[in-house]
Amino acid sequence: MLYLWIKVLHVLAIISWMAGLLYLPRLFIYHTINKYNQNITDTFEVMERRLYKYIMSPAMGFSWLTGLFMGFYSGFWTQFWFLGKFSLVLGMTIVHFYLGHRLRLFQAGQYDKSDKFFRIVNEIPTLLMIFIVGLVILKPDL
C-alpha cells in the first residue's frame, strides 16, 4: 500500500513539474516580446520567479525522491526501460536548471535570446515527456 501512495504522490509531482516546464518558457516568450515595457517585465519576473521557486523546484525534487524510491523498492532500477527513463529525466532536469539560469538572466536585464528561441525550448519538455511516458507504459526490455 505504501508503494501505491508513493506512486500517487509521484504522479502528482510530475504533473506539477511538467506544468511548470511547459508554462515557464511560454512566460519567457511574452517576457522577451515585451522587454521594453518595464511594468510588464516586472510582472513577468514575479510570475516566473514564483513558478520556478515555489512550484517547479519542489515538484522536481519530490518527483526525484518518489521516483527513486519506486525504482529501488520495486527493483525496476535494473531494467532497461527504467534506465532509459532515468536518462530522459536527467535531461528534463537539465532543462529545468537551464530555465532557472535563463530566469536569472532575465532578472539581470539580459535579453540575449529571441522569442523564437524560447518557442523551440518550449517543445523540449514535451518531447522528453512523450518518450518517458512511452517507456513507462510499454516497458520495453532489450
* Structural domain spans, the chain: 2-138
Residue 76 DSSP one-character state: G
Pair 87, 67: CB distance under 8 Å: no
pLDDT, one tens digit per residue, over 27-60 is 999 999 999 999 999 999 999 999 999 999 999 9
HSE-up (13 A, CA, CB side) for residue 82 = 13
Sorted by sequence, the CB contacts under 8 Å of residue 118 that are 6+ apart come out as 25, 26, 28, 29, 32
pLDDT recorded at residue 101: 98
**What are the φ/ψ torsions at residue 82 (nearest 5 degrees)?**
-70, -40
Q: What is the pTM of this model?
A: 0.94
Phi, then psi, of 37 in degrees rounded to 5: -110, 100
117: confidence class by pLDDT, cuts 50, 70, 90: very high
pLDDT (average), residues 5-12: 97
pLDDT in tens, 14-29: 999 999 999 999 999 9
- Best CA proximity match to 121, nearest among 14, 40, 25: 25
